[in-house]
Amino acid sequence: MSELSFDVSADESGRRLDVVLAARAGISRTIAATLNVLVDGHQAAKSLRVEAGQRVRATLPPEAIAEPQPEAIDVPIVYEDDALLVVSKPAGLVVHPAPGHPGGTLVNALLARAGRPAGGEVWRPGIVHRLDAGTSGLMIVAKDEQVYARLVAMLSAREVRRTYVALVEGEPSSETATIDAPIGRSPRHRKKMAVVAGGRESVTHYRVLERLGEVSLLEVRIETGRTHQVRVHLSEIGHAVAGDPVYGRGRKLAARLGLERPFLHAARLELAHPSTGEPLAFEDPIPEDLSRALRIARGAP
């Protein structure tokens, strides 16, 4: 048996205990609901709405999650120092192990190198934010406990600027816009997220870079980091990410563009170094599979 303990963050405040626990542990809500959980030292029901600063402790059965093991998986390193790593996550690579997916992840890859991640839960050390498996691009990874805590706080305070490039269905009516709409679990499709009343605050900004008729190229910046946020918000305004099999509608469009994943790339990261305060900025070029789709959209041979 292993123990998970953490303090509820401001972003988690108001959410159900089983939802928060499932997200923290990388397990299903079904498993989370069966666990013995203490909140501030008292037995707590799975439906409890947690508050920021509360201390949560849960005992995880061995079958729920296993400690990840090092694996020789190549992941490009964009930047590294004693405090942190910035990696370029390839599309198709899951960020951390979860029940039913114990290996072959970014965490397994980073554990195999000298500059190992650290901080946070044992099954996802150093991971302060995530990208969907089908999304490529830049991620920050902590290398010690204090840096991990500082980065988590910076993300919560919206002090890390995260910018994506997305190719979307159709042409937005505005050149720039802000989507401020709460995101939560879809009441109709439990494996999907949706804009729902009572969801978590979610803010996305976009700017049109190029209009190409049936698709448009956008620069997208997120203030919050909810699950599937960019994909859900863009779909909500009628301009789903091209090639998105979950939130998009244009399967024929994806086929014409040769897309086998959503056209979404985390292209830029900006932050103050968590230890020194030095300004840091990183850019990651659009990978070849997305560049090829963009050339097709532009009508290039």
User: Which residues are known to be catalytic?
Assistant: 132
Q: Which distant-in-sequence residues (6+ apart) come within 8 Å of 95 by Cβ?
A: 89, 105, 106, 107, 124, 127, 130, 131, 133, 139
Helices (H), the chain: 17-25, 29-32, 106-111, 145-156, 229-236, 251-257, 288-297
The per-residue DSSP string of 113-170 comes to SSS---SS-TTSTTB-S---TT-EEEEEEESSHHHHHHHHHHHHTT-SEEEEEEEEES
Q: What are the tokens at 212? A: 């190409």
Q: Could you tell me which of 69, 294, 28, 82 has the C-alpha nearest to residue 168?
A: 294
Q: Could you tell me which of 272, 168, 149, 169 has the C-alpha nearest to residue 220?
A: 168
Quick check: 265 and 284 in contact, CB under 8 A? yes
According to DSSP, residue 17 is labeled H
According to DSSP, residue 13 is labeled T
CA dist., res. 135 & res. 129, Å (int): 13
Q: 273: exposed, middle or buried (C-beta count within 10 Å: 0-12, 13-18, 19+)?
A: middle
Q: Could you tell me which of 135, 68, 125 has the C-alpha nearest to residue 99?
A: 68
SS3 16: strand
Quick check: 179 and 204 in contact, CB under 8 A? yes
According to DSSP, residue 107 is labeled H
